[in-house]
Structure 1
Amino acid sequence: MLMEVLGSALLGLALSATAARMLAGRLPALRVVLVSGVLGALFGAYLTHFALGPGHNTLTATFVGAVLVSAVVLSLLLRPASGPRRPSHRTPFSVPTRG
């Protein structure tokens, strides 16, 4: 159990550090990203361990669940890319006119 907790925390930290390095402009502060990644991985490990049940203690499955949930949590932190946007041709809720 201790190996699952430490391993998933390290995987979450590695994933969040990688995301913070690659997507620095689209993520909030580094501390928020790192904490969210680790907590997401710990929750994912707990969720996977709980879902598998007491008879299925597989370390690999727990790590996969931890990484997946951590990636989902980190994806929720992403902001839209800031770049040139295409202007809208119609205003919202406009009715097309004839003629």
Structure 2
Amino acid sequence: MLIQMVSINVKPGHVEEFIDAFRINYEGTRKEPGNLRFDVLRDPDDETRFVIYEVFTSAEALDDHRKTEHYRECVRRIDPILTGPRTKTYFNVEMADFLTTG
């Protein structure tokens, strides 16, 4: 498994536009066979700051995700309303069985 966390900062006044555009990616990604989880998190103290938590079965599944039309359309729509580039952090799951079985 591969986890990707994407930090996104939206320009003030564009939050609803961001949410509408990002819904395209959210709905499409959750249907991908290689996606296990996709959460859109918003900072409770700053409505323009988001973190996207994504879990994929593999690095290949993440690469396939980036080739989808819903991903490309979302990026096309959100890039002009961000304060800067999206930042991405990756994690491997080391103890999935431990976490699910205690």
**TM class, shorter-length:** 0.3 to 0.5
Greater helix proportion: 1
Greater strand proportion: 2
Normalised by the length of structure 1, the TM-score is: 0.32
Q: Which has the higher contact order (CA 8 A, sep 6+)?
A: 2
